[in-house]
Amino acid sequence: MYIYPDASAVVRDLAPDEPVILNRPHAAARAGRFFAEKFPGKSLYAVKANPSPDLIEILWASGITHYDVASIAEVRMVRGLLPDATLCFMHPVKTASAIREAYFDHGVRTFSLDTEEELNKIVEATKDAAGNVAADLRLCVRLRVSSEYSELSLASKFGVDLANAAPLLQATRQVADWLGVCFHVGSQAMTPFAYVQALDRVRAAIAQAAVTVDIVDVGGGFPSVYPGMEPPPLEDYFAIIHRHFEALPIAYNAELWCEPGRALCAEYSSLIVKVEKRRGEELYINDGAYGALFDAAHVGWRFPVKVLDASRSASEAEFAFYGPTCDDADYMEGPFMLPGDVVAGDYIEVGMLGAYGCAMRTAFNGFGRGEVVRVADEPMASLYRGDRADPRQSDNVVSLR
């Protein structure tokens, strides 16, 4: 596949009327190597952040061997791509048929749960033809933790409360070969302290239940870089998580797991959009709330932008965007910083859309098509390149394959 040097070269070649997704395999591979080599445990890629088969194969090639899947469709898709990967079915509410197919047809042994009903469902669905309970289940009890340090909360939907955790951990211990405790601090956790607080809750749950724990899974939430969101280095997260993990009352050979989604794929993709119309400081562009810019519209996420015409040189101004559909909600407040003389017909590159961006496109209102190409230049921001405000010496020594 041809690799363009950068977004401007794509515009020169294609003059695209539809949005174009730009993928950067080298950036995803760098993120994969970083987690594979530096996280002090196993890293499970959370497939929902971006289920693109190309990306999954890049992560596999860069050392990511475990995948957090949340639906039977994700189980089938990843198993089809990667026959040797370890798949972990980490949605706490599954159908019996999904559990059965995952266990018997796709070799899945790890499941999460947050109720006794789900535990019983897993036990029943994985019994063999003679009615024997499976002896090789790895069951992770999902604990509810606070999302107060994260930009996107995941605190209300899943997880057993600490007050009810002990009986569930004990019941799970009875049938699990490996017993795990997992949680999710919310997405884009802006400080490692989010994990400290959650691990304190894990400690309390284990102490109350007095069970032997074999896996501690700290979930996702590892951040990427966006305008106004410059997180501390990931090494700080890893070091603090490791220290608090080591101090837990767990089996001596217990494993530490994490489930990064955003951090592994945010840098993978950006998007070229075209300005169809300008009205004051509002730009009507050809992607939006129903396309790759879902988070820009629905949770006010600010993505980095740049205009792809070098002759636009006025000082920067704040812009809001309208997407292409006829829905008023197809609006992105931003502010997005662009040269004040941007006009209809200009192309804009929107960066950091590899996570929860390019994966979210729909065909609503007839939009959502467009090409996907590869580019060789660097993402607009990176946690892995060593050019942040607080670069660590280790940033540039992630080994190359």
Ligand X SMILES: *Cc1c(COP(=O)(O)O)cnc(C)c1O
Question: For binding to ligand X (CB under 6 A), which residues are involved?
Answer: 46, 48-49, 68, 90, 184, 187, 219-222, 259-263, 355
Contact 218, 241 (CB under 8 A): yes
Q: Which is nearer to ligand X, 148 or 371 (CB)?
A: 148
| Contact between residue 381 and residue 352 where contact means Cβ atoms under 8 Å apart | yes
Instruction: Report the b/e string of 40-49 with b at 16+ CB within 10 A.
Output: ebbbbbbbbb
User: And the tokens for 283?
Assistant: 């730009």
CB distance 165 to 153 below 8 Å: no
Collapsing DSSP to helix, strand or coil, 335 comes out as strand
CA 374 to each of CA 10, 32, 55: distance values in angstroms, whole numbers, following the listed order:
9, 18, 12
Rank residues 7 and 46 by Cβ distance to ligand X and give the closer one. Answer: 46
Q: Which is nearer to ligand X, 110 or 325 (CB)?
A: 110
Catalytic site residue from 88, 182, 265, 326:
326
333 C-beta neighbours (distance < 10 Å), count: 14
* CA–CA distance, 281 with 321 (Å, rounded to integer): 9
Q: Is 326 a catalytic residue?
A: yes
Specify the residue, 27 or 355, whose C-beta has the smaller distance to ligand X.
355
Single-letter residue type at 50: N
Residues belonging to the chain: 401
SS3 (DSSP) at 361: coil
Please, are residues 47 and 70 in contact by the beta-carbon 8 Å criterion? yes
Instruction: Output 91 or 244, the one with its CB closest to ligand X.
Output: 91
- With CB atoms as reference, the residue minimizing the distance to ligand X is 220
**Minimum CB distance to ligand X, residue 90 (Å):** 5
Instruction: List the structure tokens of 274.
Output: 């075209």
How many other CB atoms are there within 10 angstroms of residue 167's CB atom? 12
Tell me the Ramachandran region of residue 15: left when phi exceeds 0, alpha when psi lies from -120 to 50, beta otherwise: left
By beta-carbon proximity to ligand X, the closer residue of 8 and 50 is 50
Annotated catalytic residues are 326
